[in-house]
């Protein structure tokens, strides 16, 4: 994992110029971000017959419970095997314990087809070999249940990188596609409605077959092979992309499908790859573009000229800032991202206004100082910062919602914009 963001960092903030012609502020210090375990909160709903068993401490259990428990009243498809001091005493014993916990779990939930053993900081630090455990358990549980492993630990992953790690662990499991067959694979968990919209658009464009990763059910894993062309639907899929490339798939470089421009460019990238004529793309996308334009016009009136500051959270910051600046006329003062994958974001970065400060990593106190100094109209940040900033009189948009809301595609462009207008409208409305 760590090789995926291999830039050198020292204690002091550094300014450096990567391939694209921009200055990036690199900082380290306290990072006010989630760990990758949080990805479970939406992944367990996307893959309906998968179960996520975190092997970690009470802190891990408490984290997912706090992040998801607010919403979840039914029995969730995730749990934690909490390590105790007996497990820390000897490793062999821990494997027996894990087998026992998995057996109890599968007994309770016979509907589970795919079980992820999710590594955490404690399990990584004590070097509990979950990959080997997954192999061993697969042998004893197959064919009923397939057992995989990935790390969602905070020391290795930040928030959405948990999804990257999860999907990357699925890639070796994908069936081999016939070498001659050309297929499109869309990688990244999308809401079901967005997935269906994209499926229809690709069909209208004449692109087929189209598969999505992750699938909605464990049995429907998409095939992959040298004929597979892959569109990334999310900007945080570095390891997944690399794993797909290792299976022979080719990544189609594109903007991310946020906003009308992003969606069009994203579809165009696939259309070009399939050699589809420009007028057909125009015809297929015209209704969507028109609807998005109409929806965005209303929000542009509210957002134009407003200054926005992004704290790092999900890696969605760069595409979102591009959308808000170019299609809604906002002005970004700082765009913070936990990691900047230069290759995947190259096109996005080229479209960002030159005045925007881009920062990678975080020293939260210093970044808060900069934020207060910028005095932006809207701050995108996590829930640990949102209410405290509101109490200082700064309007905020909490960023986690951007992962839980359908924002991709033409028909969600207006919804995506609305997420940013709502806190501003609310502040105007409230008389108390």
Partner 1 sequence: MQLTVWTYEGPPHVGAMRIATAMKGVHYVLHAPQGDTYADLLFTMIERRDRRPPVTYTTFQARDLGSDTAELFKTAAREAYERFRPDAMLVGASCTAELLQDDPGGLALALGLPIPVIPLELPAYQKKENWGAAETFYRVVRACAAQHAQSPAVQRPRRADGLRPRCNLLGPTALGFRHRDDVVEVTKLLDELGIDVHVTAPLGASPADLARLGDADFNVVLYPEIALPAAKWLERTFNQPYVKTIPIGVTATRAFIAEVAKVSGVSQPIAETDSRLPWYSRSVDSTYLTGKRAFIFGDASHALAAARIASEELGFSIVGLGTYSREFAREVREAAAGYGLEALITDDYLEVEAQVTALQPEIVLGTQMERHIAKRLGIPSAVISAPVHVQDFPARYSPQMGFEGANVIFDSWVHPLMMGLEEHLLGMFREDFEFHDGAAPSHLGHHDAGPAEAPPPAPAPISIGWAPEAEKELGKIPFFVRGKARRNTERFAAESGVATITLETLYDAKAHFSR
Kindly list the residues in this chain that would bind partner 1 in the complex (CB under 8 A).
1-2, 11, 29-38, 55, 57-59, 61-63, 65-67, 69-70, 73-76, 79-85, 87-88, 94, 97-98, 100-101, 104-105, 107-108, 121-122, 124-126, 153-156, 158, 365, 382-388, 390-391
Q: Nearest distance from residue 75's CB to partner 1, in Å?
A: 7
Q: Which is nearer to partner 1, 153 or 337 (CB)?
A: 153
Residue 102 exposed, middle or buried by CB count within 10 Å (0-12, 13-18, 19+):
buried
Task: For the CB of residue 324, give the shortest distance to partner 1 in the complex, in Å.
Answer: 25
Kindly report the backbone phi and psi dihedral angles of residue 168, in degrees, each rounded to the nearest multiple of 5, phi listed first. Answer: -60, -35
Nearest CA-CA partner of 138 in 218, 216, 83? 218
Query: Do 406 and 258 contact (CB within 8 A), yes or no?
Result: no
Compute the distance between CA of residue 215 and CA of residue 404 in angstroms, rounded to an integer.
Answer: 17
The closest of 313, 319, 315, 345 to 332, measured between CA atoms, is 319
Q: What is the largest CA-CA distance in the chain?
A: 67
CB closer to partner 1, 326 vs 372: 372
Shortest Å distance, C-beta 293 to partner 1: 36
Shortest Å, Cβ 154 to partner 1: 3
Q: How many residues in the chain?
A: 432
| In the complex, least distance from residue 137 CB atom to partner 1, rounded to whole angstroms | 14
SS3 of the chain: helix, strand, coil, percent, to 5: 50, 20, 35
Minimum CB separation from partner 1 for residue 51, in Å? 11
Determine the Cα–Cα distance for residues 307 and 408; give it in Å rounded to an integer.
Answer: 23
| Closest distance to partner 1 from the beta carbon of 233 (Å) | 24
For partner 1, the closer CB: 25 or 128? 128
| Residue 367 vs 408, nearer CB to partner 1 | 367
CA angle 355, 324, 426 (to 5 degrees): 115
Nearer to partner 1, 36 or 188 (CB): 36
Written as one string, the DSSP assignment of 46-80 is HSTTEEEEEEE-HHHHHHHHHHHTTT--S--SEEE
Task: Give the nearer residue to partner 1 in terms of CB position, either 32 or 195.
Answer: 32
The nearer residue to partner 1, 304 or 365, going by C-beta atoms, is 365
Which residues does 103 contact at the CB level (< 8 Å), separation at least 6? Answer: none
């Amino acid at each position: 994992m760590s090789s995926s963001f291999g830039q050198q960092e020292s204690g002091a903030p550094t300014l450096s110029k990567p391939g694209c012609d921009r200055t990036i502020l690199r900082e380290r210090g306290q990072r006010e971000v989630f760990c990758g375990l949080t990805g479970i909160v939406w992944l367990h709903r996307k893959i309906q017959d998968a179960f996520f068993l975190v092997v970690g401490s009470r802190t891990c259990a408490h984290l997912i419970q706090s992040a998801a428990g607010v919403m979840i009243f039914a029995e969730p498809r995730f749990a934690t095997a909490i390590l105790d001091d007996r497990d820390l005493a000897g490793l062999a014993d821990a494997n027996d314990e894990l087998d026992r916990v998995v057996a109890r779990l599968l007994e309770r939930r016979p509907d589970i087809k795919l079980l992820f053993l999710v590594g955490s900081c404690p399990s990584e630090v004590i070097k509990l070999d979950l990959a080997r455990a997954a192999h061993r358990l697969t042998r004893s549980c197959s064919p009923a249940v397939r057992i995989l492993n990935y790390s969602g630990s905070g020391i290795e992953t930040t928030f959405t990188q948990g999804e990257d790690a999860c999907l990357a662990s699925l890639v070796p499991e994908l069936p081999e596609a016939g070498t001659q067959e050309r297929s499109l694979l869309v990688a990244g968990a999308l809401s079901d409605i967005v997935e269906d919209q994209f499926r229809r658009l690709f069909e209208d464009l004449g692109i087929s077959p189209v598969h999505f990763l992750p699938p909605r059910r464990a049995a429907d894993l998409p095939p992959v092979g040298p004929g597979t062309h892959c569109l990334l639907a999310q900007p945080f899929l570095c390891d997944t992309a690399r794993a797909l490339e290792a299976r022979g798939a080719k990544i189609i470089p594109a903007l991310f499908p946020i906003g009308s421009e992003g969606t069009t460019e994203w579809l165009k990238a696939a259309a070009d790859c399939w050699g589809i004529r420009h007028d057909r793309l125009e015809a297929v996308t015209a209704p969507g573009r028109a609807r998005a334009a109409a929806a965005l016009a209303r929000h542009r009136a509210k957002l134009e000229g407003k200054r926005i500051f992004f704290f790092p959270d999900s890696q969605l910051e760069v595409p979102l800032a591009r959308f808000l600046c170019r299609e809604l006329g906002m002005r970004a003062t700082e765009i913070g991202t936990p990691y900047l994958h230069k290759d995947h974001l190259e096109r996005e970065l080229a479209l960002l206004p030159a005045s925007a400060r881009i920062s990678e990593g975080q020293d939260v106190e210093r970044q808060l100082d900069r934020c207060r100094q910028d005095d932006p109209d809207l701050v995108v940040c996590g829930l640990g910062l949102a209410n405290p900033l509101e109490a200082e009189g700064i309007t905020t948009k909490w960023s986690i919602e951007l992962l839980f809301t359908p924002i991709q595609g033409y028909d969600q462009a207006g919804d995506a914009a609305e997420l940013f207008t709502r806190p501003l409208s609310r502040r105007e409305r409230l008389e108390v």
